[in-house]
Amino acid sequence: MRRFTFAGRTCVITGAAGGIGAALALDLAKRRAVLVLVDRDAEGLARVAAMARELGGADVSTYVIDLADGEDRGDLAAEVASRLGGADLLINNAGVTLSGTFEQNALADVEWLLEINLHAVIRMTKAFLPQLLARPGSHLVNVSSLFGLIAPPGQVAYATSKYAVRGFTEALRHEVEPRGVGVTVVHPGGVRTNIALNARLSGSDPAGVQAAENRRFHETALTLPPEEAARQIVAAIQSRRPRLVITKAARAADLLARVLPAHYWTISEAVARRRKLT
């Protein structure tokens, strides 16, 4: 399959108002892509769209959509087909997380997370797949996570969604790559986004324990600039890489989980304790 080129190609990005999604939008704008940006944050989306236009985006349109609403996205796909002729690249990037253990998580909150992190990925892909299949050399990107490779405590709902995105993407790749559609699953490690700060809390958290832990995780674990993550994703799309793991720590964790699938977390905790003592 030939390298993907962005100029004049229609690129749909979810979660485009901030983080990796915004960085991708701005990177692709410089490459003169036609951008379709989706997010529930109207103000952030407008800000990113304005910056993309300044950077040379060939055409930038925005759609304020809450991906938790359960809609099938057929109307969005029809709008893109009617106005732009169809999508050449779909990047399912939007994601959310929860605080607390599975015992603490309300079932409604788990379902909310799954709706955005998993079901919206499936629905967007289903809605746009006919367009991708009809346009030779198109590409699909689904953003999973480091927690789609390893499953730490306190991330049961999130890891469930991201492991599912990984399996969905890999199986779909085996169906559509022979038909000319490239597929990449992305597993970012600690990228500096606001996902932890915006995590939905379990219960009222009156002592602020969960909120404090979210801030600590944001400050200590999420350090890679989203622009660097976007650069790596764009390079993976260009070269049609089927799988991208971002950050050295994430690649090390992936290797450990594959070598010692039943014991990797015990080893990870032991290494972390040793580092704290040195």
Ramachandran category for residue 134: left, alpha or beta (phi over 0 → left; psi -120 to 50 → alpha): alpha
- At 64, which helix (H) or strand (E)? strand 59-64
**Could you confirm whether 264 is annotated as catalytic?**
no
From the CB of residue 172, how many other CB atoms can be counted at a distance below 10 Å?
18
Closest of 192, 199, 195 to residue 221, by C-alpha: 192
Instruction: Give φ, ψ of 45 to 5 degrees.
Output: -65, -45
φ and ψ at 59, to 5 degrees?
-165, 125
93 near 21, Cβ under 8 Å?
Answer: yes
Residue 92 near residue 73, CB atoms below 8 Å = no
Are β-strands 34-39 and 10-14 bridged in parallel, bridged antiparallel, or unpaired?
A: parallel
Element (H, E) at 43: helix 42-54
Residues annotated as catalytic (active site), given as ranges: 158
